[in-house]
Structure 1
Amino acid sequence: MDYKLVMNTAILAGELMLCSGAETYRVEDTMNHILNTTHAQTVEVSVMMTGIVATLGNPDMEPITATKRVQERGTNLNSIMEVNEISRRYCAGDLPLEEAYERLQKIGPKQYRVWLFNLAVIMVSSGFAPLFGGGLIEMAAAIVTGGVLALVMTAGKKLQISGFIQTLLSSFAVAVSAILLKQVLPMVDDNIITMSSIMPLVPGVAITNAVRDTLLGDYISGAARILEAFLIAAAVALGVGTGMALMGVFFPGGGLA
């Protein structure tokens, strides 16, 4: 058996899952299943938010240790599903090792086109308006602010702006555009529009994964995810607050909720 290829396959599977937002325990479990197909005496996997370390060894061979630094993380459930499907088929013997590795290499980081992603951001912004007590006019206004949010997010990705700054700028743009709409359409509730439009920025998945990792004993990854979620929430609050304060200077009485 090609132990190095098995190790490369496990590392690649773990990297794809970690970059796609999978929980730490799920990444470790998948990698352990792949490495255990070698029936090696020593199989060790350690996964954190920022990196992966794995060791594979037998008494009659030099241990193989691999590390992988993971710097970019997001949420892509489709990639996680594809990796799980490939690993299950390989571990069940339905997929050769070489083919499994090739299929993992073909898994791309993006699932949807840019225009489709932006459309989803706009529809999510509009869809949350009724949940906060808004009517049809707030839903229509949220489409406009959602469009502004999608535009800023797309520009930030193309300019490769860091996540914290991008979130801050996006929430700032949402607050400013909502208050400007309030000046054009006085009957619109700018608070509802702002709350609805920042929902795509809320770190719900990060908080959920942080709780799951912590409950399963992965305290380092859990604490790191909690800190990441806190920073995102702080960026949203800072961006919205700055936008409202700035617009309050130009529109006294209408810029602050």
Structure 2
Amino acid sequence: MDYKLVIRTAVLAGELMLLSGAETYRVEDTMNHILKTAHTKTAEALVFRTGILATIDNPDIEPVTMMRRVKNSGTNLNRIMQVNDISRKYCAGEMPLKEAYERLGGIQKKQYKTGIYNLATLIIPAGFAPLFGGQMPEILLSAAMGALLALIITVGKRWNVNGFILDTVSSFMVAAAVFLLGAKISGVDLDIVIISAIMPLVPGVAITNAVRDILQGDYMSGNARVLEAFLTAAGIAIGAGAGMWIAGVIIAGGVR
């Protein structure tokens, strides 16, 4: 048994799942199943919000330990599904270890092109507008704000802007643009447009995963996710509020 390859496979699977936004307990469960195929006395995986630690030990071998730092996580349910499928087939004996490692390595960290992400960012606000009671004017303006949001996010990621700063700036720009355009367009509910436009930024999945981690007893990772979601929501609120205030000042002709 190639113990090093087993632990590399487990860590790679865990890294891909964390990068895709999987819950901590789910990552640990997947890694432990892979590690147990080594049939050693000790096979443990410890997963945090930003890192992975795995070890294999047996009386007749030298302990094998691997640690991996994980940054810039997002949400990709399809990638989580692919990792789960590969790990289950390997653990069931339907796939050799080397093939499982190679197939995990072949899973792309970025599944779609930037244009597809931008198109989705444009469509999401337009889709939320009617859910909030918006009519065609609100839908069209929300789609336009979605295009602006996609542009800001693309530029921000290209410049490696911090996620919190990017969310704050994005909500600021969108809110200010909605107010400035709304001043020239009559009959448009600006509240609906602003809420719809910032929906792609709302950390809904992060909050859900945080609650699930806490319920599973992973308090450290759960609290870290809660804090991350809270900071993201706070940044969005601060940016949107500042954008509306500054746009209102501009429309009113300056501070008096």
TM-score, normalization: structure 2?
Answer: 0.97
Is the 2:129–2:196 Cα contact (8 Å) retained in structure 1?
yes
Match of 2:183, SS state, is helix
1:249, distance to aligned residue in structure 2 (A):
0.9
1:82-125 per-position Cα deviation (integer Å, ceiling 9, x unaligned): 11111011111111111111111111111112111111111110
- For 1:180 and 1:109, locate their aligned partners in 2 and report how far apart those are by CA, in whole Å: 38
Q: In the alignment, which residue of structure 2 is the partner of 1:241?
A: 241
Q: In the alignment, which residue of structure 1 is the partner of 2:141?
A: 141
1:212 matched to 2:215? The reply is no
- For 2:193 and 2:72, locate their aligned partners in 1 and report how far apart those are by CA, in whole Å: 31
Q: In the alignment, which residue of structure 1 is the partner of 2:177?
A: 177
1:191-249 per-position Cα deviation (integer Å, ceiling 9, x unaligned): 11000000000000000000000000000000000000001001100110110111111
Is the 1:18–1:27 Cα contact (8 Å) retained in structure 2?
yes
1:9 matched to 2:19? The reply is no
Q: In the alignment, which residue of structure 1 is the partner of 2:62?
A: 62
Letter in structure 2 aligned against 1:215: L
Q: In the alignment, which residue of structure 1 is the partner of 2:38?
A: 38
Q: In the alignment, which residue of structure 2 is the partner of 1:224?
A: 224
1:7-32 per-position Cα deviation (integer Å, ceiling 9, x unaligned): 00001100010011000010000000
Q: In the alignment, which residue of structure 2 is the partner of 1:167?
A: 167
Q: In the alignment, which residue of structure 1 is the partner of 2:203?
A: 203
1:252, distance to aligned residue in structure 2 (A):
2.6
- For 2:98 and 2:246, locate their aligned partners in 1 and report how far apart those are by CA, in whole Å: 58
1:112-159 per-position Cα deviation (integer Å, ceiling 9, x unaligned): 121111111111101111121211110011011111011101111111
Letter in structure 2 aligned against 1:237: A
Is the 1:170–1:239 Cα contact (8 Å) retained in structure 2?
yes
- For 2:148 and 2:162, locate their aligned partners in 1 and report how far apart those are by CA, in whole Å: 19
Greater CA deviation, 104-113 or 203-212? Answer: 104-113
- For 1:66 and 1:115, locate their aligned partners in 2 and report how far apart those are by CA, in whole Å: 36
- For 1:180 and 1:108, locate their aligned partners in 2 and report how far apart those are by CA, in whole Å: 41
1:181, distance to aligned residue in structure 2 (A):
1.8
Pairs aligned (count): 253
Match of 1:22, SS state, is coil
Match of 1:198, SS state, is helix
Greater CA deviation, 181-190 or 166-175? Answer: 181-190
Q: In the alignment, which residue of structure 1 is the partner of 2:119?
A: 119
* Structure 1 vs Structure 2 CA RMSD: 1.0
1:184, distance to aligned residue in structure 2 (A):
2.1
1:72, distance to aligned residue in structure 2 (A):
1.6
Is the 2:180–2:251 Cα contact (8 Å) retained in structure 1?
no
- For 2:209 and 2:133, locate their aligned partners in 1 and report how far apart those are by CA, in whole Å: 29
Match of 1:55, SS state, is strand
1:25-49 per-position Cα deviation (integer Å, ceiling 9, x unaligned): 1000000010111111101111010
Aligned sequence identity (%): 59
- For 1:88 and 1:132, locate their aligned partners in 2 and report how far apart those are by CA, in whole Å: 41
Match of 1:53, SS state, is strand
Match of 2:45, SS state, is strand
- For 2:8 and 2:68, locate their aligned partners in 1 and report how far apart those are by CA, in whole Å: 10
Match of 1:251, SS state, is helix
Is the 1:54–1:66 Cα contact (8 Å) retained in structure 2?
yes
